[in-house]
Amino acid sequence: MAAGAGDAGLATALIVAAGSGERLRAGGPKALVELAGRPMYEYSLEACRQASKVGQIVIAVPPGKAAAFGTATGAGSGVRIVEGGATRSHSVAAGLALIDSATVVVHDAARPLVTPGLIDEAVTALEAATGLDGVIAAAPVTDTIKRVGKDSRVSETLDRSTLRAVQTPQVFRRAALSAAIAAGDLDNATDDASLVEAAGGAIAIMDSPSFNIKVTVPEDIASAEAILADRDRKDDPESC
């Protein structure tokens, strides 16, 4: 939905795209790396635009790189750009400072396969809940997970049925996320929900489909492009 006067009551999406993408080794910011011919962040931006529960959109970009995000986010696009910080949580804090809607959807530009449906589902789940501060996308863990101590010694095998691999989108009541960010350890947190949990907030997970992968290392590009190609094939009525 386009940003504008009709945004009252809609969530604001905060796309964090300010990372350097060291593990991808692409020689530039990960969000600008092309996936099937388009910069990676454009996929998340498009999904947020199409989500019916989202009004305004903010993107946190690497310092000094705002111009490179220009075409999709220029004047009249309804998208606001902010420079991110030294860690992901600092980038979230920078974006959040521009947001005053009651609900915020935080999403990683590094998860370009997110769909409008997944975003809307998370927002709807939080809206429908009482006593919750956030709803986060998460997937069952398929590997067995062990706790390892000194000298590579296994100290414990965890009960896999109680474990989830956490993803984005993560949807929060903005007041709860703002308070958690103000009080939290922004240098070390690896997701937003953990900050809200640390502040005493209540978070629930929402099962996420397997396609919602994160592009982290070079091999992930081919996996993401394969999922996109599969989607295009299914959308194309000429295909068999």
Question: Can you tell me which residue has the tokens 């070390």?
Answer: 188
Percent helix, strand and coil across the chain, each rounded to 5?
40, 25, 40
31 binds ligand CTP (CB under 6 A): yes
- Residues 110-139, one symbol each (x = binds ligand CTP by CB under 6 A, - = not), give x-----------------------------
Q: Write b or e for each residue in 163-197: b if 16 or more Cβ atoms lie within 10 A of its Cβ, otherwise e.
A: eeebbbbbbbbbebbbbbbeebebeebebbbbbbb
22: partner contacted, choices Mg ion, ligand CTP, none (Cβ within 5-8 A by kind): ligand CTP
Question: For ligand CTP, which residue has the nearest CB?
Answer: 19
Stretch of residues binding ligand CTP (CB under 6 A), selected from 12-20, 69-77, 135-143, 227-235: 12-20
Stretch of residues binding ligand CTP (CB under 6 A), selected from 16-24, 63-71, 122-130, 140-148: 16-24
Residue from 12, 56, 73, 91 in contact with ligand CTP (CB under 6 A): 91
Per CB under 5 A, contacts with Mg ion among 12-71 are: 19
In whole angstroms, what separates CA 11 from the centre of its chain? 14
Per CB under 6 A, contacts with ligand CTP among 145-164 are: none
Q: Least distance to Mg ion from the beta carbon of 160, Å?
A: 26
Q: Least distance to ligand CTP from the beta carbon of 74, Å?
A: 20
d(CA 26, CA 62): 15
d(CA 205, CA 217): 26
Per CB under 6 A, contacts with ligand CTP among 165-224 are: 214, 216
- List the beta strands (DSSP E) in 21-133: 34-35, 38-39, 54-61, 79-83, 103-108
Stretch of residues binding ligand CTP (CB under 6 A), selected from 78-86, 119-127, 138-146, 225-233: 78-86
- Reading the block at residue 209, the tokens are 């489909």
A 10 A CB-CB count for 151 gives 5
Residue from 1, 13, 59, 109 in contact with ligand CTP (CB under 6 A): 109
Q: Least distance to ligand CTP from the beta carbon of 167, Å?
A: 10
Length of the chain: 240
Residues 113, 116, 118: CA angle, nearest 5 degrees: 75
Cβ-contact 101, 175 below 8 angstroms: no
47 binds ligand CTP (CB under 6 A): no
Binding site for ligand CTP (CB under 6 A): 16-23, 30-31, 60, 84-88, 91, 108-110, 214, 216
Site residues (vs Mg ion, CB under 5 A): 19
